[in-house]
Structure 1
């Protein structure tokens, strides 16, 4: 017969439960600090030079803060706070487009930015939640302290990468500020041709977790164990728990610094002389009648200023339907192309005219003129911007609050033929499309004639003089690293630039100036590992490691029988 439990035992149990509950509850400042750390992470990205090194420290700080959580709920909200701080400070320029150019009231534009940042913060929150379960943190008895381990480090890297991939995929995706972008000048850029931007984020998160693991083990090492004679088991264990993650970290950083020496692609075809145009047309004037006349005159002057192998204008440099383009403008640039042997890519609005003369299926397009040939090359933008180029179901009321023209376009095909310039194929995309690396890789991989040069035509005037311009240039550099191909950018206000096949900016126009950038560029051929496999490698590896961590990580300790 079991002995009765006296009142003192029951009181002790209640006190212990109260103490455990107190330890489980994290103070509010824990989440405020996580949000501040996320906001600080904005400085890892452009225009901060070599921000990739700063990003290692910030992500290590975030991982350490996660290890202080006491269960899956606190891990979830810590990740959410970090993500909110990161995005509300990193994409604040969306407020500029909504309020200053879209005409939305300031309070509503600010609220929309906050809500959007809260939504984006869900992805690092879910990554933190998955890490908590798959690292054993949420299964090992939530009151126990978490000690960074190897399976915890791999679980963090995998959950982080899958969270970023999901953010770039769900609801058409918004992968801006993916952590790998900050590494184009950082120590892990060499991994980009192998595993892409999400794989670079995976490597970054792994190193950050290993740094924390080493530092925590240093702090936990007992002085008496470290002071034992050589050959002592405790001393060897303490030294190994610190040295092993340090060696792994150094090895990964060294690999990242050495990998850029590998040439995954090779130069091919005759170099092209290219002129990239920057009109600096003010956004508020672009669609007005006077602004249209001024824009047409300016771009006609820039296009016909001097010959080249290829001249490229920004996105919708001619902001009218192609069929409504002034006849004189079209005749003059066609005569210039035929007379000088200059191919021209210009941005305009496409559309289909029905038999009853109605225009349907408007498109955001690039049209190409080939010297001595009739007809036009046409590329229609495939990946459209929500609320800017198409209206998601149920949100027309929101778009009606803004004064943004041309708000609902038709989509082009996912893979479209390249434009041939002196028999050299070049792949084009428009503005927002180059933030989707897997789609650029697919265009390079699946075209029967693989393009050797990437071209991005864009208009960031919607975002004014903000960090969006430098962030977008940083994204374009990642596309060059992933594909091993040079990237040419023609923009309205900046950053108009030429990027070589190794992701280096070789020439750039000052922002908010009118002019042209003359560059000589040589195309490349061959496929990088990322072009061949896309994001499949990092997704598969992450899923396997998370499944392993969930199955074999520390289990919840069994309750002792009474």
Structure 2
């Protein structure tokens, strides 16, 4: 086109030629995905995400067929998720003799499986929009793909593109759109960067649009909500996963948690991480009384396993005092292949058991998200993996004053996994305008205010304790009221409009000079 610079035209022609060689375009697309993945924690290099998405979008737009666009989108997703999910090998190395052989397959199958959603989005965008308007189609299609990724087969909405904005003003847009909407917007902006590079005018428009979004995010950012007259003590005992249940170490970790709990001060509530009491509920009452006595007169909320017959549950218990249980919460959203195995009886025949399973049986799920009362307000308790699902917060009956996350991120290693999990918690705070108290076995334990800001924390990979005021909640957000329905309607509407426009143009094209 006349308004495209010669350099842009040469680059576009070169990229189009790469489609003549499948492995070249596959390698380029996967590399673009890896670049895009560097926007995730702990890297936070979101400019690389834009570069990766722009390159990936260009290759999808220039694909000669819908099938080639599908394969290009899959390669893009494979590179992106392989970097984002690199921590997934860590759980399989805890017991390397039993599970180590699964580690590379876990990374390949998880990344490749998640990339299928991106493959479908690429095919859909190519089908409805072709080259013109592709950035809109890609944003809408990838928004739908991210929603499906968070719902189908139990869902796994980890590592979405929208999460890269956590330490920028743009994160506050999740108050309106949620992370899925922010992911759609991120892909649209990244895809729009490619045609914007055609000339200076388009590039100026692109930067101007980005500046408008930042300004909007700044405008809707709420003021500091302040804190309640209540202090929560977060205990981080630091029990590495390969030693956590070792008979020679287990009591040492418990004693450390007790000692940290007895730190001076007068908290109103004490929180221990997931499965931090090393015996099932009621099986070692002396340990439970010791833990509760260490916190008294403050109540203690602690992670513990619970057994009913042959059924195991991953639970939280609030002890009002030694020997006194206030309430019990059973985790309901379990980790596939971690806490239970789909078609478990069949999988067990091939030696595949849940990583956290008891005798290979795994855990049973609880009834669902429920609210519980504490001395510092009504809480929605969540255990570990449940924090990545916004719907697990929306499905609760009523609105809590705050959210509790008790987690054992030792499973996720010491690199990207725990930090990405913390980012998820911070976005839940933004989406719902609720503070979150997070107690993590090996870190990062943190107090998060209703704007997603970390007000107090303990570092990753070390024992510690921190007393933090519990922040106040903010008014109900747009996203908390509307959920993902507006994004769903908008995405389908945009795709339908693009499809209709392109179909009309193909049937009755505008004559030259017309």
TM-score calculated relative to the size of structure 1: 0.80
User: 5+ residue gaps in structure 1?
Assistant: 1-20, 138-145, 220-238, 353-358
Instruction: Please name the residue that 1:322 is paired with.
Output: 281
Cα distance in 2, alignment partners of residues 403 and 255 from structure 1: 44
Instruction: Please name the residue that 2:212 is paired with.
Output: 251
Superposed displacement of residue 107, structure 1: 4.6
Instruction: Please name the residue that 1:234 is paired with.
Output: none
Corresponding residue SS for 2:234: strand
Alignment of 1:57-206 (within 5 A): 57-101=51-95, 103-104=97-98, 106-135=100-129, 137=130, 146=131, 148-149=132-133, 152-206=134-188
Cα distance in 2, alignment partners of residues 377 and 497 from structure 1: 23
Superposed displacement of residue 257, structure 1: 3.7
Q: Which structure exhibits the higher relative contact order, with contacts defined as CA atoms closer than 8 Å and separated by 6 or more residues?
A: 1
Corresponding residue SS for 2:279: strand
Q: Could you tell me whether the CA contact under 8 Å between 1:459 and 1:492 is conserved in 2? A: yes
For residues 46-89 of structure 1, the C-alpha deviation after alignment (integer angstroms, 9 at most, x for no partner) is 1124x344423332232122222111111101110011111122
Cα distance in 1, alignment partners of residues 409 and 295 from structure 2: 28
2:231 corresponds, among 273, 280, 285, to 273
Superposed displacement of residue 378, structure 1: 1.0
Superposed displacement of residue 213, structure 1: 2.9
1:376 is the counterpart of 2:326: yes
1:312 is the counterpart of 2:298: no
1:495 is the counterpart of 2:444: yes
Cα distance in 2, alignment partners of residues 94 and 399 from structure 1: 19
Instruction: Please name the residue that 2:384 is paired with.
Output: 431
Superposed displacement of residue 278, structure 1: 0.8
1:520 is the counterpart of 2:476: no
Q: Structure 2 vs 1, CA of residues 410 and 281 (structure 1 numbering), >3 Å: closer, same or farther?
A: same
For residues 474-511 of structure 1, the C-alpha deviation after alignment (integer angstroms, 9 at most, x for no partner) is 11111111111221211111111121211112222122
Cα distance in 2, alignment partners of residues 26 and 554 from structure 1: 30
Superposed displacement of residue 27, structure 1: 4.3
Instruction: Please name the residue that 2:28 is paired with.
Output: 33
Q: Could you tell me whether the CA contact under 8 Å between 2:302 and 2:318 is conserved in 1? A: yes
Q: Structure 2 vs 1, CA of residues 22 and 208 (structure 1 numbering), >3 Å: closer, same or farther?
A: closer
Q: Structure 2 vs 1, CA of residues 437 and 23 (structure 1 numbering), >3 Å: closer, same or farther?
A: closer
Cα distance in 2, alignment partners of residues 249 and 296 from structure 1: 50
Superposed displacement of residue 247, structure 1: 4.4
Corresponding residue SS for 1:308: coil
Q: Could you tell me whether the CA contact under 8 Å between 1:280 and 1:514 is conserved in 2? A: yes
Q: Structure 2 vs 1, CA of residues 310 and 102 (structure 1 numbering), >3 Å: closer, same or farther?
A: farther
Q: Could you tell me whether the CA contact under 8 Å between 2:35 and 2:49 is conserved in 1? A: no
Superposed displacement of residue 404, structure 1: 4.4
Superposed displacement of residue 293, structure 1: 2.2
Instruction: Please name the residue that 1:531 is paired with.
Output: 480
Superposed displacement of residue 305, structure 1: 3.3
Q: Could you tell me whether the CA contact under 8 Å between 1:267 and 1:525 is conserved in 2? A: no
Alignment of 1:199-348 (within 5 A): 199-216=181-198, 218=199, 247-260=208-221, 262=222, 270-306=228-264, 307-325=266-284, 327-338=285-296, 340=297, 342-348=298-304
Instruction: Please name the residue that 2:11 is paired with.
Output: none
Alignment of 1:405-420 (within 5 A): 405-406=357-358, 408-420=362-374
The structure with more radius of gyration: 1
For residues 312-356 of structure 1, the C-alpha deviation after alignment (integer angstroms, 9 at most, x for no partner) is 11100013210212x322233444555x2x02100001232xxxx
Q: Could you tell me whether the CA contact under 8 Å between 1:303 and 1:311 is conserved in 2? A: yes
Q: Could you tell me whether the CA contact under 8 Å between 1:321 and 1:348 is conserved in 2? A: yes
Superposed displacement of residue 368, structure 1: 0.5
TM-score calculated relative to the size of structure 2: 0.88
Cα distance in 2, alignment partners of residues 397 and 37 from structure 1: 40
Corresponding residue SS for 1:477: helix
Superposed displacement of residue 279, structure 1: 0.9
Instruction: Please name the residue that 1:553 is paired with.
Output: 502
1:385 corresponds, among 328, 335, 338, to 335
Superposed displacement of residue 203, structure 1: 1.5
Could you say what the CA RMSD is over the residues aligned between the two structures, in angstroms? Answer: 2.7
Q: Could you tell me whether the CA contact under 8 Å between 2:233 and 2:467 is conserved in 1? A: yes
For residues 499-541 of structure 1, the C-alpha deviation after alignment (integer angstroms, 9 at most, x for no partner) is 1211112222122211111111223153111111222221121
Moved more, 105-114 or 407-416: 105-114
Instruction: Please name the residue that 2:352 is paired with.
Output: 400
Cα distance in 2, alignment partners of residues 243 and 40 from structure 1: 23
1:43 corresponds, among 26, 38, 47, to 38
Corresponding residue SS for 2:395: helix
Cα distance in 2, alignment partners of residues 285 and 344 from structure 1: 24
Instruction: Please name the residue that 1:421 is paired with.
Output: 375
Superposed displacement of residue 189, structure 1: 1.1
Alignment of 1:425-504 (within 5 A): 425-443=378-396, 446-447=397-398, 450-504=399-453
The total of aligned residue pairs comes to 489
Superposed displacement of residue 372, structure 1: 9.5
Q: Could you tell me whether the CA contact under 8 Å between 2:234 and 2:438 is conserved in 1? A: yes
Q: Could you tell me whether the CA contact under 8 Å between 2:432 and 2:477 is conserved in 1? A: yes
Instruction: Please name the residue that 1:4 is paired with.
Output: none
Cα distance in 1, alignment partners of residues 439 and 287 from structure 2: 20
Superposed displacement of residue 284, structure 1: 2.1
Q: Could you tell me whether the CA contact under 8 Å between 1:24 and 1:71 is conserved in 2? A: no
Superposed displacement of residue 105, structure 1: 5.7
